[in-house]
Amino acid sequence: MSTPAENTLDDIRAAFAKRGHEGYGEGVSQLDHALQCAVFAERDGASEPLIVATLLHDIGHMLHDLPENIADSGIDTQHESLGSAWLSQHFGPEVSEPVRLHVAAKRYLSASEAGYFDVLSDASKLSLKLQGGPMNPEEQAKFGAERFFAEAVALRRWDDEGKILGMKTPDLAHFEPMIARSLRR
Mean pLDDT of 44-50: 98
State how far the Cα of 51 lies from the Cα of 39, in Å rounded to an integer.
8
Long-range contacts of 108-115 (CB under 8 A, 24+ apart): 108/135, 108/139, 108/140, 108/143, 108/144, 108/153, 109/153, 109/156, 110/134, 110/135, 111/135, 111/136, 111/139, 111/140, 112/140
State how far the Cα of 149 lies from the Cα of 171, in Å rounded to an integer.
28
Crossing angle of the two packed helices 93-112 and 48-55, in degrees rounded to 10: 70
Number of domains in the chain: 1
Determine the structural domain holding residue 15 and report its residue range.
4-182
The pTM score is 0.90
Cα atoms in the Cβ-side hemisphere of radius 13 Å centred on 67:
7
108's enclosing H/E stretch is: helix 93-112
Mean pLDDT of 5-32: 90
Instruction: Please give the pLDDT value at position 97.
Output: 97
- CA-nearest of 41, 15, 14, 29 to 182 is 41
Instruction: Please give the pLDDT value at position 75.
Output: 44
- pLDDT tens track for 53-106: 999 998 988 876 644 555 544 544 566 778 889 999 999 999 999 999 999 999
Q: How confident is the model at residue 23 (pLDDT cuts 50, 70, 90)?
A: confident
Instruction: Please give the pLDDT value at position 68.
Output: 53
CATH of the domain at 113: 1.10.3210.10
Task: Give the rounded distance of the alpha carbon of 161 from its chain centre.
Answer: 12
Instruction: Please give the pLDDT value at position 65.
Output: 65
State how far the Cα of 131 lies from the Cα of 133, in Å rounded to an integer.
6
